[in-house]
Every structure is written in C-alpha cells, then in structure tokens.
Amino acid sequence: MDEIRLIEVREEIHADNKVVAENLRKRLAAEKTFLLNLMSSPGAGKTTLILKTIEALRDDLRIGVIEADIDSTVDAEKIAAKGIEAIQLRTGGFCHLDASMVEKGLNGLGLKELDLVIIENVGNLVCPAEFDTGAIKNAMILSVPEGDDKPLKYPLMFSVCDVLLINKIDYLDASDFNVSVLKKRVFSLNPDIKTFETSSKTGQGIAEWAAWLHVEATAFITGKS
C-alpha cells in the first residue's frame, strides 16, 4: 500500500483569513468605525455586559452589534429591543467567527452610520482565539464561577486579547476564585493586557471599562491611535 499523503491546510486557511482581516481593518480606518471582538465561554455574561456598555456609551457613540451563535437569534433580539442596530450571524456549526463572516455582518449593519461595532463571538475559549476577525481590539470575559485556572488551560485566548474583563465579581465571597493568582497567570502570558473587574449586577467596574473603550474608539475614529 502506498503511504498516505497528509496535506496540511490549516496554515493556508489562516493565511487567507489574515489577508481578509487586514483588508477589513483598512476599511474600518477609512470608514472611521472601531470594531471590538468580545470573546468568552458560554454563560460568562457577554450579552449582559454588552448591554451595560451600550447604556454607558450610547449618548457619545453610535453603536452596532454583531451577534454570533451556532443557531439562535436570542441575543440579537435583546440588543435590538434596546434600540441598537444588531445583526445575527448563525454559524451553522462553526465554533468561531472569521474575518469573512464578520465582513458580512458589517455589510449588513452599514458602517457609515456607526462609530463602534461590538462583536459578540461564539461562546468558546478555544476556536475564536485562533481566528483574526479584523477587529481593532480583542477583549475577553472570564467570569468568577469559571475559576482562576483558565489561563493554564486556554493560554492562547489570554495571549491574543488586549483586555480581560473579570466578570461576576459579586460571586467572589462565595467562591475560592483568587483575583491575584489569576492576574499573575495572565500577565505571565500577556504582560500588556488591560484588566477590569466588573459586575453587571452591581455595576462595579462598568464605568471604568466603558471609559477605556470610549478613549480607544475615539482615538481610532480621529486617527490619533
């Protein structure tokens, strides 16, 4: 029997995605629209935190949201109910978004009327970290109930993100989650990552997070970043 030939396609797929992502960033710069890619595991609080972020920024920035799920429109409906333009991307089994998918979402939203677009990526700590979406910044949420050991299990996610939101900190008293230990593990992977401790329930940390996002978006829009 002839030896089986193995053709590695992953590098080519990622290379193609990288080209699309870079072109998308050029388009975003020309349109003056800031794109944030928000990632987390399921149940970490992405949608609720996005809603709180919208409340904090909607008077200053025109905001749109791209929601991604394998098969659901629930989250997009919650966003739209608040009067915010939202597009639902149903991935049909894919556990991540890539730049081409995001481009379709942006085309549906229309960039000329928006200053800030937030991607709520598919709930997953593995696949979304591997694909460049064309976003200007990557952020992730880690909720207290998930545990402080996740940087050890999913190092790539923590390495590619510009921001870590430690969410649901109102659960700290009822858990053995150690914020200091978590940060030590995260900074060993990514010394430049920005961290915020947040609770959508109590509102703690939301203003600080929203202020950072406002500064970053405004700097990008005005060409000062």
* Residue 81 to residue 55: CA distance in whole angstroms: 13
Q: 112 lies in a domain?
A: yes
- What CATH number is given to the structural domain containing 85? 3.40.50.300
Pair 136, 55: CB distance under 8 Å: no
* Residue 168 to residue 184: CA distance in whole angstroms: 19
pLDDT value for 77: 87
pLDDT value for 46: 95
Better-predicted residue by pLDDT, 67 or 212: 212
Task: Say yes or no to pLDDT of 2 above 70.
Answer: no
State the residue range of the domain holding 72: 17-145+206-219
Mean pLDDT value across the chain: 91
Q: How many structural domains compose the chain?
A: 1
Classify residue 44 by its DSSP letter: S
Q: 102 lies in a domain?
A: yes
pLDDT class of 5 with cuts at 50, 70, 90: very low
Q: 107 lies in a domain?
A: yes
- The model's pLDDT over 35-59, given as tens digits with 9 standing for 90+, comes to 999 999 999 999 999 999 999 999 9
Place of tokens 């002839």: 2
Q: 192 lies in a domain?
A: no
Locate the DSSP E strands across the chain. 34-40, 63-69, 85-90, 116-120, 137-143, 163-167, 194-197
pLDDT class of 73 with cuts at 50, 70, 90: confident
Q: Provide mean pLDDT across the span 98-120.
A: 92
Task: Say yes or no to pLDDT of 8 above 70.
Answer: no
pLDDT class of 93 with cuts at 50, 70, 90: low
Q: 186 lies in a domain?
A: no
Q: 61 lies in a domain?
A: yes
**Encoded tokens for 181:** 């230990």
**Encoded tokens for 159:** 């390495």
Q: Which residues partner with 85 through β-bridges?
A: 64
Q: 188 lies in a domain?
A: no
Give CA separation, 53 vs 1, 17, 47, in Å.
Answer: 60, 29, 10
**Encoded tokens for 74:** 């629930």
pLDDT value for 14: 67
Lowest mean pLDDT among 107-116, 193-202, 214-223: 107-116
Q: 127 lies in a domain?
A: yes
* Residue 68 to residue 8: CA distance in whole angstroms: 28
- The model's pLDDT over 153-165, given as tens digits with 9 standing for 90+, comes to 999 999 999 999 9
User: What per-residue string of b and e applies to 127-138 under the rule 16 or more CB within 10 Å gives b?
Assistant: bbbbbbbbbbbb
pLDDT value for 72: 66
Lowest mean pLDDT among 97-111, 159-173, 208-222: 97-111
